[in-house]
Amino acid sequence: MRQYDFLGKAKFFVPLSMALILISALLLVPQIRGWNLGIDFTGGTEFTVQFSEPVDTAQIRQSLSELSSGGIDLSQSAIQSYGGADRVIITTPLDIRDNQVLVERVEQMLRNDYPVQDPAASNISRTAISQQVSRQLTEKGWQAILLALVIVLVYVSWRFRLRYAVGAVVAVIHDVVIALGIFALFKVEINLPTIAAFLTILGYSLNDTIVIYDRVRENLKLNPRGNISEIINRSINQSLSRTINTSLTTFIPIIILFIFGGSVLRGFSLALLIGVIVGTYSSMYIACPILEAWAKKAGTKTKKRK
């Protein structure tokens, strides 16, 4: 079986990852690019409209801009087709408690100026989330991610050692930050399903890393005085076929979901798509180099004490 020198290539990929993390962090700055938070986190009102024929979303945006008032620019509302060009979701920053009149004007404009299917019926549905609820959702979203990272750190430290846990957590943070950077670059909306996808990325990346770490531990038991770099490299190679097969079988349904899942699932599937690619990469080129560097440093200190 051919052995690939993965750790030998780490000197190229680690700086690349650091650069990607830096770029992603810069993209998350509001003045540069910033988050595109959905209604779940910003508060507002979402209209789902069923038309009798396809409509021009650019024209709807123009009509919304003419309704803008009181410092609220409705032309910045997110407008996307859902299940066909005759069904549209319009997400506005309108708080229904403070902007009841404007919300009703938006509904009236849609019924008067566009071919709403049976205007007399309830073919315009409205979903409202207050700013207080959105703040709570934001806090709980971050709490879920941070709690998951802490649990991962504790569990891997218990099952393996602290050096393994640190490598796994850094790899997971690397994956999530790069995913957020891509979301910021393309202004993909971040909502509750997206947070669920980020947590899934965490689990997928961790699973791939743990498989390699478990093989490293087994090889260390067989050869406790062996060269740590060679042992880690051998362990990655031994896990390679499993990693490739798992990544491909996961990638295929996600790419199908991304293509055919529609706009509602686009952010969720994109996050998973990034997670599969970056998670596989980080297990080999982030988690393992950290484990190697820590083990070498610990070995050097032990020799000095002797």
Q: What is the CATH number of the domain that holds 277?
A: 1.20.1640.10
Geometric angle at alpha carbon 44, from 41 and 48, rounded to 5°: 110
At residue 244, what is the residue type?
Answer: I
b/e 8-38 (16+ beta carbons within 10 angstroms → b)? eebeebeeebeebbeebeebbeeeebebbeb
In a domain, 93, yes or no: yes
Q: Are residues 181 and 257 in the same domain?
A: yes
Cα–Cα distance for residue pair 1/3, rounded to 1 Å: 6
CA 98 – CA 92 distance, rounded (Å): 13
Do residues 151 and 224 both lie within one domain? yes
Asked if 89 and 108 sit in the same domain, the reply is: yes
Same domain? For 255 and 184 the reply is: yes
Contact 282, 205 (CB under 8 A): yes
Q: What is the pLDDT of residue 289?
A: 94
pLDDT (0 to 100) of residue 23:
96
**How far apart (Å, rounded) are the C-alpha atoms in residues 276 and 72?**
39
Question: Does residue 1 sit within a domain?
Answer: no
At which of 85, 100, 129 does a domain end? 129
Shared domain for 205 and 240, answered yes or no, is yes
Q: How far apart are the first and last CA of the chain?
A: 39
Rounded CA-CA distance 175/278 in Å is 6
* Chain position carrying tokens 């910003």: 42
> Residue 49 belongs to a domain with what CATH number?
3.30.70.3400
Q: Answer whether 6's CB lies under 8 Å from 231's CB.
A: no
- Shared-domain flag, residues 123 and 65: yes
Measured CA to CA in angstroms, residue 152 lies from 160, 167, 168, 280, 294 at distances of 11, 11, 8, 18, 19
Domain of 79 in residue numbering reads as 44-129
Query: How many structural domains compose the chain?
Result: 2
pLDDT at 121: 61
Tell me, what DSSP letter sits at residue 64?
H
Does 26 lie in the same domain as 90?
A: no
pLDDT tens-place values along the chain, 306 residues long? 577 888 888 889 999 999 999 999 999 998 888 888 777 777 788 888 888 888 888 888 888 888 877 777 787 777 877 766 678 888 888 877 778 888 888 888 888 888 887 766 667 888 877 766 667 777 787 788 788 888 888 888 888 888 898 999 999 999 999 999 999 998 888 887 888 888 888 888 888 899 999 999 999 988 888 888 999 999 999 999 888 898 899 899 999 988 887 666 788 899 999 999 999 999 999 999 999 999 888 765 445 545
Sheet hosting strand 78-81, strand order edge to edge: 78-81, 87-92, 44-50, 124-129
Q: What pLDDT sits at residue 302? A: 44
Instruction: Specify whether 27 is located in the same domain as 93.
Output: no
Task: Verify that 225 and 123 share a domain, yes or no.
Answer: no
Give Cα 103 distance to the centre of its chain.
31
Q: Are residues 191 and 226 in the same domain?
A: yes
Same domain, 199 and 275: yes
Task: Choose one of 129, 154, 179: the last residue of a domain.
Answer: 129
Closest to 276 in 3D by CA, of 252, 240, 251, 241? 251
Q: What is the pLDDT of residue 231?
A: 92
* Residue-level pLDDT at 266: 82
Instruction: Assess whether 83 and 31 both reside in one domain.
Output: no
Long-range contacts for 26-35 (Cβ within 8 Å, ≥24 apart)?
A: 27/181, 27/184, 27/185, 28/180, 28/181, 28/184, 33/184, 33/185, 33/187, 34/184, 35/183, 35/184, 35/190
Answer yes or no: is 57 within a domain. Answer: yes
CA distances (Å), 47 to each of 81, 241, 281, in order?
12, 48, 40
Domain boundary among 76, 111, 129: 129
